[in-house]
Chains A and B, each alone.
Chain A
Amino acid sequence: MTVTIQISALLREYSGGVPDFKLEATSVRAALAEIERLHPQVYRGVCDETGSVRKHVNIFVNTQNTRDGSGLDTQLTPGDVVMILQAVSGG
């Protein structure tokens, strides 16, 4: 099923400036595997070498934080928006 991946502006340097793209995935874990294939630098910014989401990064499905629910096993439905967001340190 097709979902939209949105990446925060600060990660876009790793996606060639692309703010969002579509891919086929049935779960967040599957979506990340696709991101690793399509945009390996984005994946490296999101996941560590064990495949866990980095602790300064959150993945939202629509407006809900997957960290508060099933994490990487969060199931996706057609049209879902998966947003990747990292902490912001400037001020």
Chain B
Amino acid sequence: MKDFDKRFERQTRFAALGRAGQAQLSGARVLVVGCGALGGALAQNLARSGVGELVLVDRDIVEESNLPRQVLFDERHARERTEKSLAAKESLARIGGPTRVEALVEHVDADNIERLTAGAHLVVDGTDNLETRYLVNDVCVERDLPWVYGGVVGAGGLVLPVLPGVGPCLACLFPEPPPPGVLPTCETAGVLQPAVALIAALQSGLALRILTARSGLTPRLYEVDVWDGRVRELGVGRDPRCRCCGLREFRFLHEPVTQRATSLCGRNTVQVRGARVKPDLQRLAQALEPVARDVRHTGAILRFAVDDERYTVFADGRALIEGTDDLERALTLYDRYIGT
């Protein structure tokens, strides 16, 4: 028996996959957007399953607080502040196997998403903000490319396989992202590792199915909660008036918020333009109380501090982040504490 056959023998014995399905996996290219908690688990699951090529893209670096739930990173990565996609590639290389891994240190936006998705058979979602997910949704619907949404916070989250033309897209289900500050983030509400593992497992299983036996798969929304021990399967349909898959208006793709981050010369401060909708500063202030210092909401301005950075958030969603002149870092911090 060849090494390849021996390695995947238990998988190919699963009749619905079989040797034919394994061969399809080995010929597949999958883009993993975001390489943190969900993205790292997704990358590991898909690499161990024998997907032929993985493209990992993430703009962030590994930190100690990532280690409880981001399975591809260790203390050395955190100590050396290794870029997440590079650290993930290194860990996947230790597992071995036939998967080719390309690691990119980039902020995913409208300028590079078409290049990143070129040649991909599937996109899996490991990002940490809705703005990027709506961008992924736009490009995937435009290109008839399947993707699997996954979101996690606290003890639970959601999974939706998006099969353009077959089932609903993200914008059918949630027509618009909320203003910054409305939804909890992993920083404000916390997150449990088993929730990450369960959601990534659901996403990964659906990914294998889409890559090998897509026909007959009915897209459904899954809502899970590991604290309550609950998995719900919910019926969702396409919206014929959907801005994205109905009217085919891809505004996250074609009307991007340009130059989102700008360094303010000589001030060790980055200005980050917000998302398309105005934040709810009052709710954001409430959500930040447990994790931030000096939270002060006065009129149209919210100020707070976390670690070495101080934040000033304006009513239009614009923020000044003092304490860094690194644009990528500032975007990461914006999505982490202000969110979309």
B side interface size, CB within 8 A: 48
User: Is B183 within 8 A of A10, CB to CB?
Assistant: yes
Query: DSSP class of A's interface residues: helix, strand, loop or mixed?
Result: mixed
User: Is B178 within 8 A of A54, CB to CB?
Assistant: yes
User: Is A68 within 8 A of B234, CB to CB?
Assistant: no
Let me know if A91 is at the binding interface, CB within 8 A.
Answer: yes
Q: Which of A70-91 contact B (CB under 8 A)?
A: 83, 85-91
Cβ contact of B174, chosen from A8, A19, A55, A68, cutoff 8 A: A55
Q: Which residues of B contact A83 (CB under 8 A)?
A: 232, 234
The stretch among B1-9, B109-117, B123-131, B318-326 that forms the contact with chain A is B123-131
Let me know if A2 is at the binding interface, CB within 8 A.
Answer: no
Q: How far is the CB of B334 from chain A (nearest CB, A)?
A: 13
Q: Which of A14-42 contact B (CB under 8 A)?
A: 19
Cβ contact of B154, chosen from A9, A67, A87, cutoff 8 A: A9
A65 to B177, CA, bound (A): 18
A side interface size, CB within 8 A: 24
Q: Please, which residue of chain A has its CB at the minimum distance from the CB of B171? A: A55
Q: Which residues of B contact A60 (CB under 8 A)?
A: 234
User: Is A91 within 8 A of B237, CB to CB?
Assistant: no
Q: Which residues of B contact A54 (CB under 8 A)?
A: 178
Let me know if B155 is at the binding interface, CB within 8 A.
Answer: yes
User: Is A65 within 8 A of B234, CB to CB?
Assistant: yes
Q: Which residues of B contact A50 (CB under 8 A)?
A: none
A65 to B173, CA, bound (A): 9
Q: 1/0 contact trace for B16-53 toward A, CB 8 Å?
A: 00000000000000000010111100000000000000
Q: Please, which residue of chain A has its CB at the minimum distance from the CB of B340? A: A89
Q: Which residues of B contact A90 (CB under 8 A)?
A: 128, 151-153, 157, 184-186, 189, 191
A54 to B283, CA, bound (A): 15
Q: Which of B208-239 contact A (CB under 8 A)?
A: 221, 223, 225, 227-228, 232-237, 239
Q: Which residues of A contact B161 (CB under 8 A)?
A: none
Q: How far is the CB of B19 from chain A (nearest CB, A)?
A: 33
Return the 6 tightest CB-CB contacts between A and B, nearest first: A88-B151, A90-B153, A55-B176, A68-B237, A56-B178, A90-B186
**13 contacting pairs across A/B (C-beta < 8 A):** A9-B156, A10-B183, A65-B173, A65-B221, A65-B235, A68-B237, A88-B153, A89-B128, A89-B130, A89-B133, A89-B185, A90-B128, A91-B36
Please give 6 more A-B residue pairs, beta carbons under 8 A apart, in addition to A63-B235, A91-B34.
Answer: A9-B156, A9-B227, A10-B183, A10-B184, A85-B158, A86-B178
Interface of B with A (CB < 8 Å)?
34, 36-39, 125-130, 133, 150-158, 173-178, 182-186, 189, 191, 221, 223, 225, 227-228, 232-237, 239, 339-340
